[in-house]
Amino acid sequence: MQLAEPLQAAIEELSKLPGIGKKTAQRLALFLLKGENENVANLLKALHELKTKLRLCARCFNISEEELCPICQSAKRDDSVICVVEEASDVIAIEKSNEYYGIYHVIGGVLSPLSGIGPDTLKIKELLKRFESENIKEIILALNPDTEGETTALYLAKLIKPLGIKVTRIARGLPIGGDLEFADEATIGRAVSGRIEL
């Protein structure tokens, strides 16, 4: 069956979103079509402002409304410690834990030669430049615990350590609420080798 062209176009655009297949896209399109004009206008306005009102922080590349993000602007943060993360969503995740009071640097991805992502694609140059103007004592690498994240962490450690800056990595181990019986071998291995004295 040939759907009406505007409906077909909306379904195609919606199904480009991550985790949204054709069937969900059709459901969303019909929901919006049936919904109040005002609700849809609110959604469109919010998405438009998302793209126009936000930019990347000039210092740490976190999401920001102004030139510097709220974390970089805050006087309460310890600006001698930088936590290096892949994406802005990781900043949100770490902030939610309420355990970290330093500042951040979002490198925008991980090294992945197969996808053509080398050191120059990431904000690594910008990180090294911060060491010149800022008084940094420690770098915490909080990259994802997968092959590419580990590779990127090792690459960064090799670059930064010679500068006399302490480089640490967030711990790997059993997640809170996790079950030893069902954890995979790699996680258990890391949990044992990374044990700490009580």
Report the candidate in 186, 191, 106, 187 with the shortest Cα–Cα distance to residue 142: 106
Q: Supply the minimum distance, in Å, between the C-beta of residue 1 and a second copy.
A: 4
Q: Supply the minimum distance, in Å, between the C-beta of residue 11 and a second copy.
A: 9
Number of neighbours of residue 64 by Cβ within 10 angstroms: 20
Q: Which stretch binds a second copy (CB under 8 A): 25-33, 129-137, 152-160, 164-172?
A: 25-33
Q: Which stretch binds a second copy (CB under 8 A): 33-41, 132-140, 154-162, 177-185?
A: 33-41
Write down the residue that tokens 């700490």 correspond to.
Answer: 196
Nearer residue to a second copy within complex by CB, 6 or 175: 6
Question: What is the footprint of a second copy within residues 38-97 (CB under 8 A)?
Answer: 39-40, 42-44, 46-51, 53-54, 63-65, 69-70, 87-89, 92, 95-96
Nearer residue to a second copy within complex by CB, 32 or 159: 32
Q: Where are the beta strands (DSSP E) in the chain?
A: 55-56, 63-64, 78-85, 102-106, 138-141, 166-169
Classify each residue of 101-127 as buried b or exposed e, where b means 16 or more C-beta atoms within 10 Å of its C-beta. ebbbbbbbbbbeeeeebeeeebbbebb
Q: For 141, list phi and psi in degrees, rounded to 5.
A: -90, 115
Binding site for a second copy (CB under 8 A): 1-7, 9-10, 12-14, 16-19, 24, 26-34, 37, 39-40, 42-44, 46-51, 53-54, 63-65, 69-70, 87-89, 92, 95-96
